[in-house]
Amino acid sequence: MPDYGHPLRFGTFLTPTNAAPEQPVALAQLSESLGYDLATFQDHPYQPAFLDTWTLISWVLAETETIHVSGNVLNGQMRQPAMLARSAASLDLLSHGRFELGLGAGASPTPSPPWVCRCAPRARPCRHSTRRSTSSAASGTSPSADRCASRGVPPRGRRQARAGTRP
């Protein structure tokens, strides 16, 4: 494996469960006291059993002093790029450089929630559902693609009209 000149760091991968909301924070504090470099949290905004990752990261950064904190990895499909950049920069400044940004494209074949519009070149929040109706199933387009096209956002073809995280 090539050496990129970066120091090797060790961390913990913590589940942001909301059943006991203080547990992920306590585990991050324990990770810090044991000398780990990183505390990371998986990001699943559509998972009702988990805390919101951004809120949890903010809280953990406020409740710790030395450990670096990151989403592992932050779901890029569910977040506006400009807001993601602004939030990351703010957390990094407020934590004196302890926030680490980890991005992911999404690897789950599970369909995206209905607020993610799949008919634009990149996913973005949309009031249209991406589920196909039976009337449009034969044509391969969705009613949301037609509505988005009427707003000046052209659909990118048949595969983009279907809900999902993979093309």
pLDDT band at 21 (very low <50, low <70, confident <90, very high): very high
Helix (H) or strand (E) holding 125: strand 124-125
122: tokens are 């990149």
71-109 as b/e, with b when 16 or more CB fall inside 10 Å?
bbbbbbbbbeeeebeebbeebeeebeebbbeeeeebeee
Using one digit for the tens of pLDDT, what is the confidence trace for 83-135? 989 999 999 999 999 999 988 776 555 555 554 544 444 444 444 444 443 43
| pLDDT at 94 (0 to 100) | 96
| pLDDT at 111 (0 to 100) | 55
Mean pLDDT of the chain: 75
Please tell me whether the peptide bond between 69 and the residue prior to it is cis, using omega within 30 degrees of 0: no
| pLDDT at 107 (0 to 100) | 59
Q: Which of residues 75 and 26 earns the better pLDDT score?
A: 26
| pLDDT at 40 (0 to 100) | 96
| pLDDT at 76 (0 to 100) | 76
* Average pLDDT value for residue range 30-56: 94
